[in-house]
Each structure stands twice: as C-alpha cells, then as structure tokens.
C-alpha cells in the first residue's frame, strides 16, 4: 500500500538517503530504527509530502506523493519529530482549530473521542506551552489522528519521555495499530519490539535489515553469544585459549570475583568445543550461558561500522 522505491535524498553535499526500498502493506505496524542521521526523519518527511526526494519515488495507494501531494496528505496523519504545536492556544482550542482545517463535521464529539484515546482529558483547558513533553506528544498524536487517517506516521513519538509516558504512548500506538497502518521511528529497540510487527533498520540512508523482530533475532548472521566465568586462567591465558577458534571475538574480558569473566561471539555454537578444550586444563568452569540475541545487539552489529 506504501511503496518506497530507490529513494535518494541529497541535502547539498550530504546524501541522507541512498536508494531506500521498502514495501509496506496495509494495516502493518512498522518501526523504523537507525542511529542518528540514518535518514529516518528524511524518509518520513518525504512520505508525508513535506520535502521532495532527489530521485526515486514513494507511492501511497498507487499515487506518487510528489504528483498527488494533497490526496496523499489526506490519507496520512503525521506527528513530526518536534511537533509544531501552537503553544499559546489552549489544548481544546488548538484541536478545534485542527478540526476546522481538516473539515471535521461533528467537532466536539471528535475532540472528546480523541481526548479519551490520547489521555488528555484533564489538560484540555490548559495552554499547550504549559504542558509537559509527554502531554505535548499526546496532543500532537491527537492532532495527527483528527481526520481518522488510514496511515499514521510518527517520528520518534516517545523521545524525551519518562518510562511511564513511554509505556502509555506505546499502548496508544498498539491500540491504533489494530486498525491502521502505522509507521514510526524510534531509537528505543524494546519499543519497536513491543509495538510493531515489523522492524526496518536503516543505516546510512539504506535498509540494513528488514523483518519481524523474531526473524531478525534468528537470522543466521546474527551469530551466537556465550557468557563464561572460568576460575584459574589469567586474562592472557583466555586470549591464548581462544586463538585457534576461528571467527570468534572475545568481549568484555575482565577479572571477576570468582574468576575471569567474558563473552565470546561466533557464527556457530561453540559450547561443546569450549568444554572439550577446557578438559585439558586445570581451570574450573563456573558458568557457561548461551545468551539470546537481543535486538539491541543486532542493531549494534548492523550499524556499528564507521560510526
């Protein structure tokens, strides 16, 4: 339903997007992940018709965003990175004003409905500028939802919020995601995991990984990680010990209360090999735990190069 094809965006010398391709079917909740400067906001700004790409296309329901900006904007509700709210207005007046722009028929009912959904009932008669960041985000969300758009685009909806507010915004997103296509960007991996069915990791203006969170975790190239504590060897002994293991890396090697503690990363499961080789030493294996790959590790692996 949304089709992003070969999207390129240059800001002067800076190439923000470098051939981005993503297909988003109707009704999917999709999280865009990526480090600072990856091109998330740029992608969302092009999708919502606020800036034009240098080349490539985004089509929404078959309509090119550049050729049909008005029609496409009608389908999309957008919460930008920093929500440009009219800060002097009361929340109610602001939403009333947005309802006017969007041509909403029964304004009081719609505003009430959104106030309930976004949890802003108790701040309706306060000036927007006096709200906490979390409440401002909620007002921004209500604004984006006003015309009941088919597609909701949220640029870091939870940035700068406290854990309670994050949980609340996340549950609102999940609720909305039952009926709508939702695309949101985030740095918070657990959020992507909790709220969306699909994650697209963007790095340097390109798709670095794309799939369900489970699929990304199970991907072959995501490797294996084992945590060990061994009593007896020195740090140098451990480095020697693993020298003939191929394609492995030792992480966080340090002296622990009970012995030497470290993590070993490799493509395959090395637990058996490690055990067999340890039998030839007089060291004591105190702990050997296979760590489940977290999305966090995968994200770091994919995006660490050149950072």
Backbone angles phi, psi at 258, to 5 degrees: -95, -5
Taking the least distance from each CB to ligand ATP, the nearer of 99 and 144 is: 144
State the binding partner of 16 from ligand ATP, Mg ion, none, CB within 5 to 8 A by kind.
ligand ATP
Taking the least distance from each CB to ligand ATP, the nearer of 16 and 161 is: 16
Nearest to 38 by CA among 302, 219, 222: 302
End-to-end CA distance of the chain: 33
Return the range that interacts with Mg ion (CB under 5 A); candidates 38-46, 114-122, 138-146, 269-277. Answer: 38-46
Q: What share of the chain is helix, strand, coil (3-state, %, to 5)?
A: 35, 30, 30
Among 7, 41, 143, 259, binds Mg ion (CB under 5 A): 41
Structural tokens at position 55: 């080349």
Taking the least distance from each CB to ligand ATP, the nearer of 42 and 265 is: 42
Return the range that interacts with Mg ion (CB under 5 A); candidates 13-21, 33-41, 172-180, 227-235. Answer: 33-41
Rounded to whole angstroms, the Cα distance separating 164 from 98 reads 28
Write out the residues near ligand ATP by the rule CB under 6 A.
11, 14, 16, 34, 36-42
Rounded to whole angstroms, the Cα distance separating 296 from 294 reads 5
Does position 186 interact with Mg ion (CB under 5 A)? The reply is: no
State the binding partner of 38 from ligand ATP, Mg ion, none, CB within 5 to 8 A by kind.
ligand ATP
Calculate Rg over the CA atoms of the chain: 24
Taking the least distance from each CB to ligand ATP, the nearer of 14 and 240 is: 14
Cβ pair 118, 79 in contact under 8 A:
no
Q: Which residues bind Mg ion (CB under 5 A)?
A: 40-41
């Amino acid at each position: 339903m949304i089709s992003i094809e070969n999207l390129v965006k240059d800001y002067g010398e800076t190439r923000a997007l470098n051939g981005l391709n993503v297909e988003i079917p109707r009704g999917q909740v999709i999280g865009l992940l990526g480090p600072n400067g990856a091109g998330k906001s740029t992608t969302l700004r092009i999708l919502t018709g606020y800036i034009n790409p240098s080349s490539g296309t985004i089509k929404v329901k078959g309509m090119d965003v550049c050729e049909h900006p008005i029609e496409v904007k009608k389908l999309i509700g957008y919460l930008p990175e920093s929500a440009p709210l009219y800060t002097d207005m009361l929340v109610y007046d602001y939403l009333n004003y947005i309802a006017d722009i969007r041509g909403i028929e029964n304004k009081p009912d719609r505003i009430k409905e959104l106030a309930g959904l976004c949890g802003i009932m108790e701040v309706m008669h306060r000036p927007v500028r006096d709200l906490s960041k979390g409440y401002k985000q909620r007002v921004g969300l209500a604004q984006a939802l006003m015309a009941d758009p088919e597609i909701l685009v949220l640029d870091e909806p939870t940035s700068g919020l406290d854990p309670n507010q994050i949980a609340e915004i996340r549950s609102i997103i999940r609720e909305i995601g039952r009926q709508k296509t939702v695309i949101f960007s985030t740095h918070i991996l657990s959020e992507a995991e909790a709220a969306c069915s699909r994650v697209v990791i963007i790095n340097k203006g390109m798709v670095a990984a794309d799939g369900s969170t489970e699929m990304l975790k199970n991907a072959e190239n995501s490797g294996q990680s084992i945590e060990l504590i061994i009593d007896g060897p020195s740090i140098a002994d451990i480095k020697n010990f693993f020298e003939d293991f191929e394609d492995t890396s030792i992480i966080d090697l340090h002296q622990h209360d009970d012995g030497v503690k470290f993590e070993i990363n490799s493509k395959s499961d090395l637990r058996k090999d490690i055990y067999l080789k340890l039998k030839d030493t007089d060291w004591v294996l105190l702990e050997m735990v296979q760590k489940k790959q977290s999305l966090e590790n995968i994200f770091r692996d994919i995006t660490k190069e050149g950072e």
